[in-house]
Amino acid sequence: MTDRLILGQTLAFAGDPFLEGPGVARHETQSGVLIQDGRITALGDGASLRARHPQVEVTDHGAGLILPGFVDAHAHYPQTAIIASWGKRLIDWLNTYTFPEEARFSDPAYAAGIADCYLDLLLSNGTTTVASYGTIHPESVDAFFAAAQARGLRALAGKTCMDRDTAPAYLRDTAQSAHDDSKALLTRWHGVDRLSYIITPRFSPTSTPEQLDALGRLWADHPDCLMQTHLSEQTDEIAWVRSLYPQARDYLDTYEAHGLLGPNGLYGHAIHLTPREIDRLAETGAAVVHCPTSNSFIGSGLFDMGLRARLRVGLATDTGGGSSFSMLRTMAAAYEIAQLRGTALHPAELLWLATGGSAAALRLGDRIGRLALGYEADLVVLDLASTPAIAQAQARADDIWQAVFPTIMMGDDRAISQVYVAGHPVKP
C-alpha cells in the first residue's frame, strides 16, 4: 500500500464537543496527516512531517480542510431512484413510492446498478461510511456489500424484513425466511473486509410478532451485530402501532417484548418519544439516529437534540425519505431544526454529529470518525470557498468555525475536493 502524506488545514476532535465544548477541537493550518497501510500514523506540522518522511507521496491541499469522512448512520440505498418524490406523508409515501421501487430489487442486476450509483453519489458527497437498509431480497444486500467491498469502504447493511399483511404481498418474507436469509447474509458478510451485517426489521407495523421474535433470537445469537429499525417517526404511525400491538406499553415496547432492544440497537427518527421510552433507551444503552432532511421532507416532526445528554445520537440522510445524499446538507438541516426548537448547534457539534458522533452510534467510534492516530484513513477534504456565495461569506471569517459554517449551510458536492478511502484518493 502507498504511504501518503496529505497537507492542508486539519480539525481534530480530542473528545465530544457536546460534552466538552468546541475547545475540544484542535484546528491547525499547514498541517499534515501521514497515512500508512490505510491508517493515520502521524498528525502534525506539515513541513516537519514532510522532512521526516521524504520517501512518501505528498498531496498538498493548500487551504483545504481535512476532516474524517462523513458517516451516514441511516439510509435506504434502494430508495435512490425515488428521492424527492412529491407530496406524501410516511405511510402513503411508503405505499406510493417506496414499496413499488423496492420490489425491483429482486433483480440482482438492477440492485447492482443502484448500489454502484448510490455509493458513487455518497463518495462524491464526502461520505465514507453508511449504514443502509436493503430490501426484503437477499440479493439487494449482496449487491450493496459487493459494491462497498469493491470500493474498499467500511459499510454496514441488512436485509429489510417484512412479513405482515400491512406490507404488499409482492414485498413480504416470512418469520422463518427472514431469520434464515438474515443469518445466511450475516454469515457471508459480517466481518468480511470492512463490512458489517445489521439485523433489520423495517419497523413493527410491517412485522408479525413471530417475525420480531425470530429476529430477536437471531440477535441474541449474534449480539455483536447491530440491529436497526424505525421508531416513533410520525404520530399516525404511532397510532397504527398502538392498534396493531394493543398489549404493548408503547412503540419501543413492541421491540423490547421481542428481544429487539439492547446496547447495539439503532433506532431511526425517534422523534415522538414518551419519557418511559427515553428512560428505557438510556438504561439499555441504545442509540437513536437523527434524520433531519427526512423529518421535514415527509413532515414527521422536530427531533430533540437534548436527547444527546442521555443517548448516543447519530446523524443520517435517510435517503430517499431524506431529500439529499449530502451530509453537509444534513448538518444544515440539523442546524435549522434545532433553531426551530430554540437551540443553535455549534459548527463543532454539527461536524461531530456527522463524523465521530455517527461513528459512535454505529459502535465504530474507535476506528472511524476522528483524525487520530491509529484511526482508519477515511478522510474528506473540504474547499471552504467552493462557490461565489460561500467564498464571499467566509472571506471575513475570524476563526475556523466562521470559515466552515457557510460550507456546512450552503455547501454541496462542489465543496468536496478529495475523499480518501483507507488512504486511497477517490477522485482522479
The nearer residue to Zn ion, 302 or 397, going by C-beta atoms, is 302
Supply the minimum distance, in Å, between the C-beta of residue 321 and Zn ion. 6
Provide the minimum distance between the beta carbon of 318 and ligand GUN in the complex, in angstroms, as a whole number: 5
Binding site for Zn ion (CB under 5 A): 268, 318
Element (H, E) at 419: strand 416-421
Beta-sheet strands, E only, within 264-395 = 265-269, 287-290, 312-315, 379-382
Cell of 324: 439529499
Of residues 178 and 270, the one with the C-beta less far from Zn ion: 270
Q: Is 355 exposed, middle or buried (0-12, 13-18, 19+ CB in 10 A)?
A: buried
Decide whether 319 or 394 has the Cβ nearer to Zn ion: 319
Minimum Å distance from CB 135 to ligand GUN?
10
Which is nearer to Zn ion, 28 or 318 (by Cβ)?
318
Least distance between ligand GUN and beta carbon 232 (Å): 10
Which does residue 202 bind out of ligand GUN, Zn ion, none, counting CB within 5 to 8 angstroms by kind? ligand GUN
**What is the separation, in whole angstroms, between the first and last Cα of the chain?**
18
CA distance 126 to 381: 8
Bridge partners for 198 per DSSP: 226
As a whole number of angstroms, the distance between CA 105 and CA 171 comes to: 10
Between CA 254 and CA 211 the distance in angstroms is 12
CB nearer Zn ion, residue 293 or residue 355 = 293
Which listed option, ligand GUN, Zn ion, none, makes contact with residue 68 (CB within 5 to 8 Å by class)?
none
Looking at the Cβ atoms of 42 and 121, the one nearer to Zn ion is 121
Closest CB 205 distance from ligand GUN, rounded Å: 8
CB 270 within 8 A of CB 232: yes
Q: State which residue, 90 or 421, has the beta carbon closest to ligand GUN.
A: 90
Shortest CB 389 distance to ligand GUN, Å: 30
The sign of the CA dihedral 329, 330, 336, 339 is negative
319: DSSP letter: B
Contact of residue 98 among ligand GUN, Zn ion, none (CB under 5-8 Å per partner type): ligand GUN
Kindly give, in sequence order, each residue whose CB lies less than 8 Å from that of residue 230, ignoring residues fewer than 6 positions away. 202, 203, 267, 268, 269
In this complex, which beta carbon is closest to ligand GUN, that of residue 31 or of residue 294? 294
Angle of helix 108-124 relative to helix 138-150, nearest 10 degrees, comes to: 40
Q: Which residues, 6+ apart, have CB-to-CB distance to 249 below 8 Å?
A: 276
How many Cα atoms sit within 13 Å of 147 on the Cβ side?
A: 30
Strands 4-13 and 57-68, bridge-based pairing = parallel
Site residues (CB under 6 A) for ligand GUN? 76, 90, 94, 98, 202-203, 230, 233, 294, 298, 318, 321
- What pairing do the DSSP bridges indicate for beta strands 265-269 and 287-290? parallel
- Closest separation in Å from C-beta 303 to ligand GUN: 13
DSSP code string of 287-307? EEEE-HHHHHHTT-----GGG
Nearer to Zn ion, 12 or 75 (CB): 75
384 exposure class (CB count in 10 Å sphere: 0-12, 13-18, 19+):
buried
